[in-house]
Amino acid sequence: MDRRHFIFAGSSLALTGGMLMAMTKTSTASEAEKFDFTLTDAQWREKLPPDAYAVLRRESTERAGSSALNSEKRVGVFHCLGCEQALFESKTKFESGTGWPSFFVPLPDAVATREDRSLFGVRTEVHCSRCGGHLGHVFPDGPAPTGLRYCMNGVALRFEPA
């Protein structure tokens, strides 16, 4: 490779990196939507632990395998940590092997979805329908009867035993 090709390749990589950085979200998509339960950013920061704030309000992702809810086997309901809305019944939880709590169906009208293009492709983001808090993503590789895997961040959930 001669010097001219080296400079061109380096410039192309720098431009591509700059474009990717420009496409990175600086705010959540839910900020443009209207939800029944709303707080100011300062109120969310006060209400939520830092890791839950990062996931629910800034669409971060917790480290795989870090949630105590991965091993939760009791009968009960999983709620949104942000607004307390009931989201998933424990009977719909399954072991996906991914390191995140996974469910095959949410409670009726508990979650909503939107297209997520933040990581080199298209995924379906799942958020709480009441407060807009980011919960995780849904994938078409789950068990019957739905064939869906709602892969949720445990830090965004609170479990209430029956």
- When divided into structural domains, the chain yields a total of 1
Q: For 24-69, how does the pLDDT look when each residue is reduced to its tens digit (9 = 90+)?
A: 343 444 456 899 999 999 999 999 999 999 999 999 999 999 999 9
pLDDT beyond 90 at 89? yes
Cβ of 133: how many Cβ atoms within 10 Å?
31
pLDDT at residue number 2: 55
Length of the chain in terms of residues written: 162
Range of the domain at 99: 3-161
Residues 108-123 have a mean pLDDT of: 90
- 131 catalytic per annotation: no
Q: What is the CATH number of the domain that holds 66?
A: 2.170.150.20
Give the DSSP letter of residue 7.
Answer: H
